[in-house]
Amino acid sequence: MSAGDQLTSAHERILARVLNTLQAAGTDAAGRVHRGRVDAFGADEVPAINIRRSTGQADAFAHAVHRGLMEFELDLLVRGDDWETAADRLHLQAHRVIAVDGELNTLGRGLRCVRTEPRAEGGDEVIGKLTATYQVQALSRAGDLGLVA
């Protein structure tokens, strides 16, 4: 574990790995993969993926070890009248990449998509967003959320 890893939680390292994996993946979003972007996306900035931290919970797993159930969201942004189909294709591409990433599967276990939520906004061109929520489990020492047990 590097010195930088000691200053980040297991959840943050998982999110950083998702970002790196999707940036290198060659999905329809190409280089438009962001982490925690809050600014609105313009039509010329999509397709894109925005990775956001979501809810989480922890419980006791063993003596001095906690099991964290972490969630993160992928906002899959597309445009056009067929936005649902385009968003579904982008989700499939992103899912295939993160589901088989060896480093991500070392940082956490049981990665799964637990729900999706589609939304769209009309205008000159439809901008659609499919938010896919993922869960992953990681064990950490009770006294340090940055150390994986």
Mean pLDDT of 118-125: 87
Domains annotated for the chain, with CATH where assigned, are 5-148 (3.30.70.1700)
CA 46 – CA 60 distance, rounded (Å): 42
Helix, strand, coil shares of the chain as percentages rounded to 5? Answer: 30, 45, 25
pTM above 0.75, yes or no: yes
- Residue 52: closest CA among 138, 136, 133, 121: 133
pLDDT band for position 123 (cuts 50, 70, 90):
confident
Q: Which residue has the higher pLDDT, 123 or 3?
A: 123
Say what percent of the chain tops pLDDT 70. Answer: 82
Token pair 């060896």: residue: 102
Residue 149 pLDDT > 60, yes or no?
no
